[in-house]
Chain A
Amino acid sequence: MSKPHYDREHHAKKATGIGDPQCFKGEAGKAKFKVGDRVRIRNLPDVFYTRCQVYTRGAVGTVTELVYESPAAEDEAWDNTDKPEWFYSVVFRQKELWPEYPDLYAEDTLESEFSERWLEPA
């Protein structure tokens, strides 16, 4: 049996001297969302791998920042860097995530990052 041919240095060649995720800048195309947009986290299947926390699925939050362009974790985890996406920082009210969260702390928030595939307009 022969070994598969694979350039294991493809990422190093792209990122050396530039950095990651800076090396993917300009590759994600036009961003679907902007700062201030209300978004809902999609409930996509989570077989094999994801970095999208299950407790955020279906919750509504607000985009606070377009953070960078990068392959989504679900692709990068198999070293596939062909389709970078926009990453967004999204802020939620804690009460939105945890129904039993005390009303006394209704202003508490949680902020996390999501690649574009996980967001839909709310």
Chain B
Amino acid sequence: MSSSTREKVMKHLDAVGYLQPAVHKPQHAPYPDEIDHTMYRAYTRSAHDVGGEPDVPMAWEEKEEEQWELNTFATCECLAWRGVWNAEERRRRQNVDVGQTQYLGLPYYGRWLLTAARIMVDKQYVTLTELVNKIDEVKKRYE
């Protein structure tokens, strides 16, 4: 394993440390009596149900879609036309199944793309082994 891989691994571990939701409570593997009904519901809710949550203003950026975003949309629509998923299953997977950290942390079409790959594995159109090998093969083209 090259040293640049180790550097990337360490950088990744640092990045993961930034992802904890900003709840000012210790939240690593709590004992059952530390989670009451309110917190249980907060943790198990649908992450896309954000209406009414307190938040701070966001900067609005006027930005065209990038090419990969357009490609991702077309790919996901093709999956629908071929019956791999319907729009509601796609929303469930890309808005809720990804979990709060990815829902808030990834770009909109980043979630679409990740979910498109996930459903191909979940429904056994490709194996995770095939997917991982393909990603590795494509990555090498850019090294």
Contact = CB atoms under 8 A, between A and B. Distances in A.
Do A and B associate with each other?
Answer: yes
Nearest to A50: B46
Contacts of A54: 45, 49, 51-52
B88 A77 contact: yes
A30 interface: no
Given A49-B46, A98-B52, A8 B89 contact: no
Interface string B19-59: 00000000000000000000001001110010110000000
B96 A11 contact: no
A107 interface: no
A47 B49 contact: no
B51 A53 contact: yes
Interface residues of B, number: 20
Nearest to B96: A49
Contacts of B51: 53-55
A98 to B, nearest CB: 7
Contacts of A11: 83, 86
Interface in A78-113: 78-79, 97-98
Contacts of B49: 46, 50, 53-54
B contact face: mostly helix, strand, loop, or mixed: loop
Interface string A1-36: 001101011111000000000000000000000000
Interface string A39-63: 0000000111110011100000000
B124 interface: yes
A76 interface: yes
A83 to B, nearest CB: 14
A8 B96 contact: no
Given A73-B88, A76-B89, 18 more contacts: A8-B83, A8-B123, A12-B83, A47-B45, A49-B92, A49-B96, A53-B51, A54-B45, A54-B51, A54-B52, A76-B86, A76-B88, A78-B89, A78-B92, A79-B85, A79-B86, A79-B89, A97-B52
